[in-house]
Amino acid sequence: MEAALATEPNGALLGSSYYRSPFQFGLWVWNAFSKDSTAFGKWMCSSFGKEPVLMSWVNPALRASVGKAVLGAHGYFNGKVKYEEYTLSNPKKAKIGYTVDLGHLYTIDTLSYEGFPYEGDSLIKSTMSQSVIHKGDAFDVNNLEAERTRISTLFRDNGFFYYQPNYSSYIADTITEPGKVLMKFKFADNLNEKLKHKWYIGKLNIQLRRNIMDSLINCVHRRHFNVWYSTKSQPIRMRVIMRNQKLSSGQLYSYDAYQQSYNNISTQGIFSQVDFSFAPHDSTPQCDSLDLTLNCVFDKPYQFYVETNAKGKTTGRMGPELVLGFTKLNAFRGGEKLDVNMHGSYEWQTNHPSGSNGNLNSYEYGGDISVEMPRLLLPFLCHHRFYTVPSTVIKATSNVINRADYFKRHIVSGELTYNF
């Protein structure tokens, strides 16, 4: 009700609709310069002025009707909202007072689910413990929408591919039981038959393109799927895609499995576009199979980057650093990322560590090679569920460091990093 009725007056303190600042600087500037046509007057008005809040803009009658609708949405069907205007000693100023009569709070007495197909009705009954609406709860439109969304998610996760939340509606009876609401959640009549039964995954077609306009010229037929690609040879090993694909031929359609598949494949970093499309296998009324077409467009195979850094240390040493590198995506047709970079830095210090004068210069140069694989090299974690594609990074580093001829050393190291 506060959001529906409250309006900030001029000089409101912290957004309050009641408390105001005694110093109305914005209003004073507006009154002084709003009619000034000079450039300075327009600048003052736009930068520091604030236009007065008029009663016609507030429109209390409209706000009262909105407040009454808010009461009805939260179970106060007999609620009333009235307003009254109070003119102050200054005839140019006024206040608005709202009177809210809540009335009786209506509560849910019963909620029945009617008209749903047999399989859908069985799903609803088996998950009644998860229902958002319970007997005795206050009537609330937000809870009704939450239950509608729950049913829609439940159906789409269990094969009802075409089901949408607006295919069901509520009917409320507030007369039979005074002060209570008898609710019915009904499945819409005269809907297409394809909306009333479960769907299974039929044929799986995977299309691989270098760019969106490529023509698919080659095809490889496998037992459970077909692979189409636009190059002479298959650009990626199919296990890279299939181990992240949660929808397989003959499986019951699940919206949750579809989301997991989309997230796993799109976050691999080798595709610029991933698209899932579903279509009935044929047009017969008895058809319950959806053919899945997975269209993947590869990202640019090479990425180049340049990094520059400036270092400063408390010992007085400072100097620049430069890193040049490139990344090869899908380097070995397994979704790997091969990163190669060369880096070099130079540092100088005007004061010798021992306290004597003299310049101390040093340089460092080397290179890094790393391979990131879109899988874990840990067998005991193979059944763990990840929300993004896990990866393993194998890194080799080679550096040569010179410290003003004081010492020289050569470092070659290998590093294995697991990214979760």
DSSP string, 64-127: HHHHHHHHHHTT-TT-EEEEEEEE-SSTT-EEEEEEEE--PPPEEEEEEEES--HHHHHHHHHT
Higher pLDDT, 417 or 93: 93
Q: Which of 15-29, 103-117, 402-416 has the lowest mean pLDDT?
A: 402-416
Q: Is a pLDDT exceeding 80 seen at residue 419?
A: no
Which of the two residues, 110 and 395, has the higher pLDDT score?
110
CB 208 within 8 A of CB 232: no
Note the pLDDT tens digit of each residue in 276-322.
999 998 888 778 899 999 999 999 889 899 999 887 877 777 889 89
Distance separating alpha carbons of residues 211 and 201, to the nearest angstrom: 27
Q: HEC string of 229-243?
A: ECCCCCCCCHHHHHC
Q: Please report, to the nearest 10 degrees, the dihedral formed by the alpha carbons of residues 344, 350, 356, 357 taken in order.
A: 120
Task: Write the single-letter amino acid at 173.
Answer: D
pLDDT (tens digit per residue) in 227-278: 999 888 889 988 888 888 899 889 999 999 999 999 989 888 889 999 999 9
Q: What is the chain's mean pLDDT, rounded?
A: 83
Q: Are 219 and 241 in contact (CB under 8 A)?
A: no
Q: Which residues pair with 276 in a beta bridge?
A: 294
Distance separating alpha carbons of residues 238 and 205, to the nearest angstrom: 12
Report the distance separating Cα 148 and Cα 166, nearest Å: 8
Reference 188, options 171, 200, 201; nearest CA is 171
Three-class secondary structure of residue 55 per DSSP: helix
The answer to whether the CB of 243 falls within 8 A of the CB of 334 is no
pLDDT > 70? residue 19? no
**Tens-place pLDDT, residues 87-118:** 888 887 888 888 999 999 999 999 999 999 99
Instruction: Give the residue among 82, 87, 85 at the shortest CA–CA distance from 1.
Output: 82
Residue in this structure with the two tokens 């874990």, named with its chain if needed:
376
Average pLDDT on 110-133 reads 92
The answer to whether 132 and 151 have CB atoms below 8 angstroms apart is no
Q: How confident is the model at residue 409 (pLDDT cuts 50, 70, 90)?
A: very low
Count of alpha carbons within 13 angstroms of residue 20, beta-carbon side? 15
Output 348 or 25, whichever has higher pLDDT. 348
Q: Which two tokens stand for residue 177?
A: 């039981």
**Helical H segments across 190-303, by residue range:** 238-242, 255-266
